[in-house]
Structure 1
């Protein structure tokens, strides 16, 4: 387990269905999607990983939101761990406090169902 982001990025990203995110806002905390709850941590992506995450895990899904989160605000509960292809992915061991969220934006889709992240990734590496 790697405790800090090896890329030095300030933000991590969560793709969430709008309805699930609105439940979290009402509750004041995001505990995770069903896959997160099953795995015991909240899955995040870096800006370099988020497009592939959308393609692999959210293909054809609409009404998704991209949640940008201040990685530093998550402290030591955010770990970077090997996942697909050996890439280090950010995993949050605990609930996501909503005060760590920097932006929430709808992810548009094209006619072929692909997600369009143009202008949504806030960090310079996007």
Structure 2
């Protein structure tokens, strides 16, 4: 199992989560019934597919072990290869390891920190 998993969150939504003590997900997460996460190796493709050109995002890194049985690795509905981490419940701030800005470059593509394939 992955040690850390990642989700892309709008900066304003993350600020609200910090005040509330937990992140309850985006509109898409709530519609699907779980919070969408990616592994480090999946995150760039996820950003390109679901958040292309979107500014003011943060990468939220969570400790997978801290999420217990609410975290499941499942195939995506889109048919993309691999298993993706899905969290069935809210993300408690205590499980968050880091929050990193995800700026857009001049070319409109996200500029990821080192360590993301």
Fold-level similarity (TM above 0.5) = yes
Structure 1 length-normalised TM: 0.87
| Equivalent residue for 1:39, pick from 32, 36, 44 | 32
Return the offset for 1:120: 6.0
Q: Counterparts in 2 of 1:104-115, with a 5 A limit?
A: 104-115=99-110
Question: Counterpart in 1 of 2:112?
Answer: 117
Return the offset for 1:118: 2.7
Return the offset for 1:119: 2.3
RMSD: 1.2
Structure 2 length-normalised TM: 0.93
- What CA deviation, in whole Å up to 9, does each residue of 1:60-117 have, x standing for no partner? 1101000000000000100000014231000000111110000001012111110111
Q: Is the 8 A contact 1:15 1:66 kept in 2?
A: yes
Q: Which runs of 5+ in 2 are unaligned?
A: none
Q: Report how many residues are paired.
A: 115
- Are positions 1:89 and 2:84 aligned together? yes
Question: Counterpart in 2 of 1:62?
Answer: 55
